[in-house]
């Protein structure tokens, strides 16, 4: 699933070709794609509108239009936005023609992605939690959120109402970097562990953005290139492989119906290994910054 680094990369790479340009043609092949508004309304309201800006909020892309409305996209599990592809593939659900001879294709193998055409973007994204890179998103804020929950810390990180943009693989990577077992009860983390986790979340996401996201499944960048963040993954998508820090076999467990990869040694649940995990975390954090 495209997470914050992948969606940020898509935004950064699409923006130069679409911002300041107008929509000259819209073809939607799948009615299910449109979450709010009819196909007729989407066509009528988009044609001729200039894209004033392109923003990211959590895992959502927000195209702000000259009409004052916003076209919001969520790629879900397998969606991609392709810029000027040589051909429109069989997974294409929509095609947006843009002045300047540009074309953006919404391709989605599993047909889970959605678009919204709304007057106020907050009606769709307003319930999201703070962005991990927000200036006001401090370790104290993270700690307050964790302290209110007795569910696994991994589940809290995945809750988009608590913090926006973190998905399964980056939650696994951040918890490994912090030396915290994914099934630890959120409220049990010490202040020191919270500070370490806060730093690791930002470091892991920043490193992934610098690598243009992770192409572990269907994710490709707008012009078809792959991201390389997965090449640096320590535990995510590495079930059964040796831990790069200690050599133990990376394990997989299900936490509230989400698979989680972790190192049983570096992220031990025992108090004796928690301290070691915190020491190892500083080494891991150094490697992702």
CA pair distance 161, 210, nearest whole angstrom: 26
Alpha helices for 139-235 (secondary structure H): 139-147, 153-158, 168-178, 191-210
11 is catalytic: no
The C-alpha angle 128, 224, 237, rounded to 5 degrees, equals 60
CA pair distance 107, 193, nearest whole angstrom: 40
Catalytic residue among 11, 59, 69, 221: 59
Q: Record the tokens describing residue 168, joined without a space.
A: 């399964």
CA pair distance 45, 89, nearest whole angstrom: 26
Q: Answer for the pair 234, 284: CB distance below 8 angstroms, yes or no.
A: yes
Catalytic residue among 50, 185, 195, 258: 258
Nearest alpha-carbon partner for 104 in 179, 13, 177: 13
Catalytic residue among 2, 130, 152, 182: 2
Helix/strand number for the chain, H first, E second: 8, 11
59 is catalytic: yes
Instruction: For the chain, give the number of residues.
Output: 289
Q: Record the tokens describing residue 13, joined without a space.
A: 């790479």
55 is catalytic: no
182 is catalytic: no
Secondary structure element (H or E) that encloses residue 81, with its range = strand 79-83
Nearest alpha-carbon partner for 172 in 226, 229, 256, 237: 237
CA pair distance 244, 253, nearest whole angstrom: 19
Positions marked catalytic: 2-3, 59, 258
């Amino acid at each position: 699933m495209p997470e914050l680094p992948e969606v940020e990369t898509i935004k950064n790479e699409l923006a130069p070709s679409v911002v300041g340009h107008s929509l000259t043609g819209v073809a939607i092949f799948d009615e299910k794609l449109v979450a709010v508004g009819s196909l007729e309304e989407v066509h009528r309201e988009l044609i001729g509108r200039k894209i004033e800006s392109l923003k990211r909020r959590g895992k959502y892309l927000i195209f702000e239009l000259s009409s004052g409305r916003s076209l919001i996209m969520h790629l879900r599990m397998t969606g991609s936005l392709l810029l000027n592809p040589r051909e429109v593939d069989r997974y294409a659900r929509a095609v947006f023609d843009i002045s300047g001879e540009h074309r953006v294709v919404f391709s989605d193998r599993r047909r889970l992605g959605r678009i919204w055409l709304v007057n106020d973007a907050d009606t769709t994204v307003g319930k999201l939690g703070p962005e991990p890179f927000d200036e006001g998103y401090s370790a104290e804020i993270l700690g307050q959120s964790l302290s209110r929950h007795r569910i696994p810390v991994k589940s809290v990180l995945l809750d988009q109402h608590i913090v926006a943009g973190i998905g399964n693989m980056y939650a696994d990577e951040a918890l490994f970097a912090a030396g915290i077992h994914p099934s630890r009860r959120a409220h049990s983390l010490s202040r020191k562990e919270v500070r370490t986790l806060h730093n690791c979340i930002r470091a892991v996401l920043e490193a992934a953005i610098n690598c243009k996201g992770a192409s572990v499944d269907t994710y490709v960048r707008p012009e078809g290139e792959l991201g390389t963040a997965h090449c640096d993954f320590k535990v995510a998508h590495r079930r059964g492989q040796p831990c790069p820090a200690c050599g133990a076999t990376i394990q997989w467990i299900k936490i509230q119906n989400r698979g989680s990869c972790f190192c049983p040694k570096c992220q031990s649940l025992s108090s004796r290994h928690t301290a070691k995990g915190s020491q190892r975390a500083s080494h891991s954090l150094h490697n992702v910054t």
